[in-house]
Amino acid sequence: MISAAIVGGTGYTGIELIRLLSAHPKVSIDLLTSRSEAGTRADEIFPSLRGISDLVFSDLGDETLSALQKCDVVFFATPHGVAMKQAAALTQAGVKVIDLAADFRLQSLADFEHWYQQTHSCPELLKTAVYGLPELNRDKLAEAFIVGNPGCYPTTAILGLKPIIDKQNKQAIRLIESRIVIDAKSGVSGAGRQASLALNYAETTDNFKAYGIGGHRHLPEIEQGIEQLLDSQFSQQVRFLPHLVPMIRGMFSSIHIALTEAGTGIDWQQEFEDSYAGEAFIDVLPHGVYPDTRSVRASNRLRIAIHQDNERGELTVLVVQDNLVKGAAGQAVQNMNVMFAFDETLGLNAAPIVP
């Protein structure tokens, strides 16, 4: 058994971490923190936890920080900028850190400061952080002490592009044109649990809108994934546009790509199937079968479908996931499993919820 703590356990990713880790056979949740709910039992805030967790939230004071240093792993389900202030003390104490915010995602300090409007407090520690996509970074995660859990949109984008960029690198010729269009939609829970006029029932129900039209902070994370994680030998120009849809949870990213003449000669369905063969949480659907968000709800699964139109020279990649699970808390648990040499699927095999 390993000892885990969750800092910031009152948001949607925090409750998902509690739900998943409470059922994990190798983990004991020994500490929950919340500045706003200190002294309150978790099951008072989330009645779904009655009979599952009787833990009481603690404030993030000196005594709590000392207790965190005795844990094996600390999850930060906090706003951007919190984890980087605590990470050095924790890692020096031998604690492994998984941050679900953006503090350890972007290796470019300029990009981080531009998109998150704050200065990074531990740039040297950032250099040692591992980007938490197990399907790409499994070997590095096994040795990591700090993990930057990916953003929800970048998870769908990078995994949706991986077989294409890998094949293009292997062939050493352009198989796709330089421009990639990612048209993505997310449920309202992706915006967090805080009160906001734009997110209340009357504003979101029976409504559909785009946001981040002039630029979104997940764009540099997607570009980093293409350039560094996938090590693309060819420059790619990404147009990323997210949308808010009137559902609680779920994410659907449609990736539109123009094929070169050489690209039309590739059986992309087969490439995706081969690329993800053996990956427990990535399901490449059969030709002609297309995903919906309900098929992954509350699970750590990500489903992908391919539509190839050689007459038009077009390739469409359809990717769905639960933004709170594979897009956040579930992926964090998957990363933890790799970091502690557990079976990667441990605690994550629950089937999607339908309806």
Q: Tell me the β-bridge partners of 75.
A: 6, 98
- Count other Cβ atoms within 10 Å, centred on residue 131: 25
> 222 φ, ψ to 5°?
-65, -45
**How far are the Cα atoms of 15, 139, 172, 230, 310 from residue 168, in angstroms, in the given order?**
40, 23, 6, 11, 17
Dist. CA 205–CA 200, nearest whole Å: 8
> Could you please report the per-residue DSSP string of 222-265?
HHHIIIIIS--SS--EEEEEEEE-SSSS-EEEEEEEEE-TTGGG
Q: Tell me the β-bridge partners of 146.
A: 97
Closest CA to 316 of 304, 328, 326: 304
- Count other Cβ atoms within 10 Å, centred on residue 213: 9
E strand or H helix at 99 = strand 96-99
Annotated catalytic, 152?
yes
Q: Which of 152, 282, 296, 318 is catalytic?
A: 152
Question: In the 8-state DSSP scheme, what is residue 102?
Answer: S
> 173 φ, ψ to 5°?
-140, 160
Enzyme catalytic residues? 152
